[in-house]
Amino acid sequence: MKTIDELLTEGVAGKRVFVRADLNVPLDGGTITDDGRIRAVLPTVKALADAGAKVVVASHLGRPKGAPDPAFSLAPAAARMGELLGTGVAFATDTVGDSARSTVAGLADGQVAVIENLRFNAGETAKDDAERGAFADRLAELADVYVGDGFGAVHRRHASVFDLPARLPHAAGHLIATEVGVLKKLTEDVKRPYVVALGGSKVSDKLAVIDQLLGKADRLLIGGGMVFTFLKAKGYEVGASLLQEDQIPVVQEYIERAEKNGVELVLPVDVVTSTEFPDLKTKTPGHPHTVAADAIPADQLGLDIGPETRKLYASKLADAATVFWNGPMGVFEHPDYAEGTRALAQALLDSPAFTVVGGGDSAAAVRLLGFDENAFGHISTGGGASLEYLEGKALPGLAALED
- The pLDDT, as a whole number, for residue 205 is 86
- CB atoms near residue 65 (< 10 Å): 11
Active-site residues: which are they? Answer: 37, 202, 360, 384
Give the pLDDT mean for 381-396: 88
pLDDT tens column, 186-225: 998 899 999 999 998 888 888 989 999 998 999 999 999 9
186 contacts 78 by C-beta, under 8 angstroms: no
d(CA 201, CA 289): 20
24 contacts 60 by C-beta, under 8 angstroms: yes
Tell me the CA distances in angstroms from 376 to 152, 179, 322, 331, one per residue in order. 19, 14, 12, 22
- CB atoms near residue 166 (< 10 Å): 12
- The pLDDT, as a whole number, for residue 129 is 97
pLDDT tens column, 54-113: 999 999 999 999 999 999 999 999 999 999 999 999 999 999 999 999 999 999 999 999
d(CA 268, CA 311): 10
34 contacts 202 by C-beta, under 8 angstroms: no
pLDDT tens column, 335-377: 999 999 999 999 999 999 999 998 778 988 998 899 998 899 9
Sign of the CA dihedral running 315, 306, 385, 92: negative
Q: Is residue 141 very low, low, confident or very high in pLDDT (cuts 50, 70, 90)?
A: very high
d(CA 2, CA 99): 31
Q: Is residue 34 very low, low, confident or very high in pLDDT (cuts 50, 70, 90)?
A: confident
- The pLDDT, as a whole number, for residue 392 is 86
Mean pLDDT for all residues in the chain: 95
279 contacts 329 by C-beta, under 8 angstroms: no
- The pLDDT, as a whole number, for residue 203 is 86
DSSP state string for 38-58: HHHHHHHHHHHHHTT-EEEEE
111 contacts 66 by C-beta, under 8 angstroms: no
Q: Is residue 391 very low, low, confident or very high in pLDDT (cuts 50, 70, 90)?
A: confident
- The pLDDT, as a whole number, for residue 282 is 86
Dihedral over alpha carbons 331, 337, 343, 348 (to 10 degrees): 10
Q: Which residue has the higher pLDDT, 293 or 384?
A: 293
- CB atoms near residue 374 (< 10 Å): 7
Per-residue pLDDT for 4 more than 80?
Answer: yes
d(CA 20, CA 382): 14
